[in-house]
Structure 1
Amino acid sequence: MTAVVPFNLAIAQSQIDDLNQRIDMARWPEPECVADWSQGTPLAVLRDLAGYWRGGYDWRRCEAQLNALGQFKTAIQGLDIHFLHVRSPRKDAVPLVITHGWPGSVIEFMGVIEALANPPAGELAFHVVAPSLPGFGFSGKPAETGWGVPRIAMAWAELMQRLGYDRWVAQGGDWGSAVTTAIGVIRPAGCLGIHLNMPIGRPEPEDLVNPSPAEQKALAALKHYQDWDSGYSTQQRTRPQSLGYGLVDSPIGLAGWILEKMWAWTDNSGSPYDALSRDQILDNLMLYWLPGTGASSARLYWESFAAFAPVEITLPVAVSAFPKEILPTPRKWAERSFKNLVHWGEMDKGGHFAAWEQPEALVAELRKAFALMV
């Protein structure tokens, strides 16, 4: 039950043919009544992406890239966990577990793994472990309740131990931030410190009296999120199963649900393609479509949405604050929870998907931050 086994992707052509047939048979709605994204993913944008998905996208390229990196599975607490594992050739490399969120996947890290594992001489190197969250990608789908953030954090600690790493660090954003924060709270044996690109913080009453510019930005973002951007999370944390039928059955429904977040949460000039390519977006979508995780991934909101709350951490913490983060946390708010904040990086550009959007900047931040902890 503790074996770590290689995992090689070889998706049957019949699954690709089925996807293409579903795209061909899609029943499209009428266009939105506005000239922007305010009602959701625009019809013309989604039809364009679907056309490329059907006629130009090459899944075999992505499949080969994942296989070349090194994929594995191991059962933890009765659930298969899929993960990428890339060992650095450097003997002094630091083991790093890096965790994605929703609506992302390990695809987010394709642009940072090689740089982390094989840095220039004199720079910190990492053995990179990138698990797929339970119910996401090619990890198993929990068949019972209880697979929330604390359990995932403990599972990651067990995974690092199983891989033979007795000293390691952790990083994450979105749900990865919640899991990594939980690792900081639990302080599992061997964890030296954590890095977050979406720290969790909330204002105190005194912050509302005379807020600083950073606090004004954070408060405005929180109001926008509550008013216009939180419908997805309300649905997923209350009725994920109802939503899941459409996401698992319809590639167009899945793409429309997720593409809007690539527009809303990236640092762009009006189009998600300013930040991410169509291939990057579709590679990620395929890790939801092929294993059918529309419902199982959404259930994490039902399990653990309350995990996005400030908690006290005494383990060393580093933060990289990207300007277009959906819920920015001012350093003042973060310092209330992070009692040993060793690094705070204010980034020039980038949004919610730090590793995906700004891989070079994030790699530089991780080297700088973790050098203070090891």
Structure 2
Amino acid sequence: MSGLRPAPIDVPDAELSDLRDRLHRTRWPAPLPAPPWEAGADLDAVRGICRIWADEYDWRVRERELNALDPALVTVDGVDLHVFRAGSQRPGAIPLLLIHGWPGSIVEFRYVIPLLTDPTGGGPAFDLVMPSLPGFGFGGKPAEPGWGVTRIARAFHTLMTEVLGHDRYGIAGGDWGAIIASRQAQLNPDAVLGFHTQLPLLGGHRQEWWGAGPDEHERAQLERLDAFDAIGRGYSGIQSTKPQSLALAQTDSPAGLAAWILEKFHDWSDRGLDGFDPDDLITNLMFYWAPRSVASSAAIYYESRTDPEGRIHPPPEPPAGVAAFPHEINPTVRRWIEPHYRLVHHTRMPRGGHFGALEEPVLYADDVREFFAGIS
């Protein structure tokens, strides 16, 4: 394991010129005879984002913003982790590991960073540590198998303790970040103060979740889950079994990459693409395009197939807090969660979906602060 090495992002001009050229030369298919988004990405919406990406978007502005987050590389377990950090000026700030998922990046945390490091009013503030997942973004790509949830959780614990020197720290995250946070808390109960998630893991058979019978709210959640199981999990099946085949096309075509990822931002949020700033969507795409990390990021699905305990494991001992966004892809009903966690905090959010920190940054940050205020 090495120490932190400054690692600002600097995409060559030639790469940006090549990107614009590829976007301008996209071979667009004819739309299928289906309603928008029903058969996959809506071509008009993807065209619109790609036009902005090619002709209006300024990567250098976003690159400077990202480089203000003190990016550094550190080698842990043979892989270079790319770590971004934002410290608080408040004494006694809580070290907080913020973990993104797929198809996201640390771009998801853009708006919550100031709300967590420099909040108004009382309550805790945080020193934020935001690593890209191994194989994601501008960090290292694992060169050997085995980088599933458990190995990532151990690497991130090493980052927080041995590299950054935090004996105790909190964790928050969604998607794979939620799964990794849960595993990390289970493996390191003496170090993890608590973990906040919006995607709790529910083991066992579904009939066990609701006991004597679901109420009206639970039935609605089950209907959403059944619908997602029926038509929404194809991406996971591909990335869990044959990720490299699709990644070849997405590494060659920025429009193809955009279609694959933008579909998820549309379907998994409660306002579709209209709920996001196009610049945020494009900056997130750049984390996959510029470092050619499409295949290595999808590999987390492939690797986790051989790490079943990474997803379903004994209930973690540290206290857990859940932000239940209504358009989350998996249900977050309190009594379904309680057998699987030491749940001390549960908030039914009025709006928002899978990308809660980006969709509803104020709601998300307030909930994280309320949870850690209650356990610190």
Normalised TM-score (structure 2): 0.95
In 2, the alpha carbon distance for the partners of 1:354 and 1:39 equals: 25
SS at match of 1:62: helix
In 2, the alpha carbon distance for the partners of 1:205 and 1:287 equals: 39
In 2, the alpha carbon distance for the partners of 1:75 and 1:217 equals: 45
The answer to whether the Cα contact below 8 Å between 2:326 and 2:349 also exists between their aligned partners in 1 is yes
User: Is 1:240 the equivalent of 2:252?
Assistant: no
SS at match of 1:80: strand
Offset at residue 239 of structure 1 (A): 0.4
Q: Which amino acid aligns with 1:316?
A: P
SS at match of 1:64: helix
Q: Which one of the candidate residues 198, 208, 213 is aligned to 1:210?
A: 213
Q: Which amino acid aligns with 1:173?
A: G
Answer with 7-16 or 93-102: which moved more. 7-16
Q: Show the counterpart of 2:185.
A: 184
Offset at residue 228 of structure 1 (A): 0.7
The answer to whether the Cα contact below 8 Å between 1:154 and 1:188 also exists between their aligned partners in 2 is no
SS at match of 2:172: strand
In 2, the alpha carbon distance for the partners of 1:210 and 1:91 equals: 48
The answer to whether the Cα contact below 8 Å between 2:153 and 2:181 also exists between their aligned partners in 1 is yes
Q: Show the counterpart of 1:291.
A: 291
Q: Show the counterpart of 2:41.
A: 41
Q: Show the counterpart of 2:129.
A: 129
In 1, the alpha carbon distance for the partners of 2:209 and 2:89 equals: 51
Q: Show the counterpart of 2:371.
A: 369
Label 1:206 to 1:351 Cα distance change in 2 as closer, same or farther (>3 A). closer
SS at match of 1:372: helix
Q: Which amino acid aligns with 2:269?
A: T
The answer to whether the Cα contact below 8 Å between 1:4 and 1:74 also exists between their aligned partners in 2 is yes
Label 1:308 to 1:33 Cα distance change in 2 as closer, same or farther (>3 A). farther
User: Is 1:169 the equivalent of 2:146?
Assistant: no
Offset at residue 210 of structure 1 (A): 2.4
The answer to whether the Cα contact below 8 Å between 1:157 and 1:188 also exists between their aligned partners in 2 is no
The answer to whether the Cα contact below 8 Å between 2:183 and 2:311 also exists between their aligned partners in 1 is no
**Number of equivalent positions:** 370
Answer with 189-198 or 208-217: which moved more. 208-217
Q: Show the counterpart of 2:224.
A: 221
Name the structure, 1 or 2, with higher relative contact order (CA <8 Å, separation 6+). 2
In 1, the alpha carbon distance for the partners of 2:88 and 2:155 equals: 23
Offset at residue 121 of structure 1 (A): 4.4
SS at match of 1:320: strand
Normalised TM-score (structure 1): 0.95
Query: How big is each residue's C-alpha offset from its partner over 1:304-342, in whole Å with a ceiling of 9 and x where there is no partner?
Result: 15444464122111111011101112111110111x211
In 1, the alpha carbon distance for the partners of 2:195 and 2:320 equals: 5
Offset at residue 123 of structure 1 (A): 2.6
Answer with 204-213 or 45-54: which moved more. 204-213
Q: Which blocks of at least 5 consecutive residues in structure 2 are unaligned? A: none
In 2, the alpha carbon distance for the partners of 1:363 and 1:12 equals: 35
Match runs of 1:32-181 below 5 Å? 32-161=32-161, 162-181=163-182
Q: Show the counterpart of 2:333.
A: 330
Q: Show the counterpart of 2:270.
A: 267
Offset at residue 8 of structure 1 (A): 1.1
Q: Show the counterpart of 2:8.
A: 8
